[in-house]
Amino acid sequence: MSYEGVEIDMLNLGNADSILVTRWQAGVPSRILIDGGKTGDAQTILDFLKARGISYLDHVVCSHPHEDHVGGLVEIVESREIDFGQAWLHLPWNHVDRNTLGAALVENAERARRVVKILNASMEVSQDLVRAIQARGRTVREPFQGENIGFLFVCGPSMDFYRRLLSEFTDFEKLKSMEDALVVNEQREFMEEFWEGARTGGKATEVEGTGLGQAPTEPENNSSTILWMKFAEDALLFTADAGVEALDAARQAYNIGGLRWMQIPHHGSRRNVNEELIAHFRPQIAFVSADGTRKHPRRAAVNAFKAVGTAVFSTHYPPPDGGNKRFCLGVVPERSGYSPATPLYEADE
C-alpha cells in the first residue's frame, strides 16, 4: 500500500524524553529520533525500534544535553542494532572560548556549585555523544533556526539566541543569579511538599508567586531544539524542554500557532509555558512525557491547555503504568496492540 502520512511515537520513560517521528511518502518511511531518554532507557528504546522492524534512522537529534534527553543516545548511537544517517546536536565549545568557560566554572565552583555541576555534566555527556557519533563514521551538524532536519524544520534556537545563553555561563553575576534561582525553587518545592495535604476544591494548592511561566527556565533548557512540521494543513510542534523565552522567540520568528499536535515542554512543568503561549499554540492534541507525580505534569499546566480545548495525553496515564503514546495523520500502517488513549484527568474531573 502507498502510505502517505505521519506517525509520532512518544515512549513511556517517566520524566525523560524520546520521540520517534515517521514521515511516509509514496509508501517509503523517513524516521527521526528526537532524544534518547536517560542512560538506563537505551535498551527500552532499542527494543521498541526492533519490535517495529526499524534498523535505520535517517536522523538522530539531541535537543539539549540534559541527562534525561541525551543519556540514552550515547548507547543507542554505539549500538550495532541500529544504523543512522545524520546526527544533530549543539556543540557549545564552537560558540564560547573553552578556556574562558573552564576558568569561569572553576572560579565559581563553590559560589554556584549547583549550576557548575549541571554544566560540567552536560559538557561531559555532549563530548561522549560526539565521540560515539564519530566512532560510527558520522559527522555532527548543529540544529539552528532555519535548518531542515529531514521533514522537520528548526524554528529555535537561533545561533544568536544560543550564543547569548552560553555567554551567561562565563558571567559571574549571571551564574550567581542562576544559583539563587535554583535555591529559591528548592525552597518552593519544599513548601509545596509541606502543604501537599492542603486541598481546595479537591485540588492541591499552589505556593503564591509560582504560576505558569513565572519561575525562570535555566539556559540549557532554553537552548532546546524546537522543531516544527506540517502535513497537509496540520502543523505539529516538538518543544523538548524549551521555556517561555525560547518558545516566544520561535513564535515571533515563525507562524507556528494553531497546531494540530504539540509536545508539552519539560514533562509538563509550570515553568515552561504561560497562558499567552498556550492560547497562541492552541493545539488540538498535546502529549507529555511524565511520571505522573504532582510536579510532572503540573495540573495547572494541563488545565491551561484543556481551557483552550486541547485534549492532553500523558505517558503515565492511565494508571498504574500508562504506556507509549502514538499519534497519526494521513494513511499509515496499522499497528496491533494499540487502543484509543484516555485524555489526562478525564476520569477524575
| Nearest-angstrom CA–CA distance, 246 and 249 | 5
Print the domain residue range for 197. 4-331
More confident residue, 113 or 269: 269
Report the alpha-carbon distance of residue 94 to residue 163 in Å, rounded.
10
In degrees, rounded to 5, the angle at the alpha carbon of residue 293 between the alpha carbons of residues 288 and 297 is 30
Instruction: Give the residue ranges of DSSP H helices in 11-158.
Output: 42-51, 67-78, 98-107, 113-135
pLDDT of residue 104: 62
CB of 96 within 8 A of CB of 57?
A: no
> What's the 3-state SS for 229-245?
EEECCEEEEECCCCCHH
Q: Which of 335, 322, 266, 255 is nearest to 7 (CA)?
A: 335
Check residue 301 and give its pLDDT: 94
pLDDT at residue 179 in the model: 55
Spatial separation of the C-alpha atoms in residues 285 and 310, rounded to whole Å = 5
113-148 pLDDT, tens digit per residue, is 665 666 778 888 999 999 999 999 999 999 999 999
Does residue 342 fall inside a structural domain? Answer: no
Q: What is the C-alpha separation between 4 and 6, in angstroms, rounded?
A: 7
> Which residue, chain included where needed, has cell 515517521?
22
Q: Is residue 345 part of a domain?
A: no
**Set of cell numbers at residue 254:** 515563525
For 46-88, the pLDDT digits (tens) are 999 999 999 999 999 999 999 999 999 999 999 999 999 999 9
Q: Is residue 139 part of a domain?
A: yes
Mean pLDDT of 249-274: 96
> Taking a C-beta distance cutoff of 8 angstroms, is the pair 263, 238 a contact?
yes
Inside any domain, residue 286: yes
Of the pLDDT bands very low, low, confident and very high (cuts 50, 70, 90), residue 180 is: low
pLDDT tens digit sequence for 206-216: 443 457 988 87
Q: For the chain, give the percent of residues with pLDDT over 70.
A: 80
- Confidence grade of residue 190 (pLDDT, cut at 50, 70, 90): very low
Average pLDDT score, the chain: 87
Q: Is residue 337 part of a domain?
A: no
Q: What is the mean predicted confidence (pLDDT) over 33-57?
A: 97
Q: pLDDT-derived band of residue 168, with 50, 70 and 90 as boundaries?
A: confident
Q: What is the total count of domains within the chain?
A: 1
- CA–CA gap between residue 274 and residue 213 (Å, rounded): 5
Q: How far apart are CA 224 and CA 135, in angstroms?
A: 25
Lowest mean pLDDT, pick from 108-122, 147-161, 325-339: 108-122
Sign for the CA dihedral angle at 275, 277, 283, 286 comes to: negative
What pLDDT, on a 0 to 100 scale, did the predictor assign at position 56?
98
- CA triple 79-57-288, angle to 5 deg: 95
Structural domain includes residue 144: yes
Position 54 in a domain: yes
What CATH number does the domain containing 37 carry? Answer: 3.60.15.10
In a domain? residue 339: no
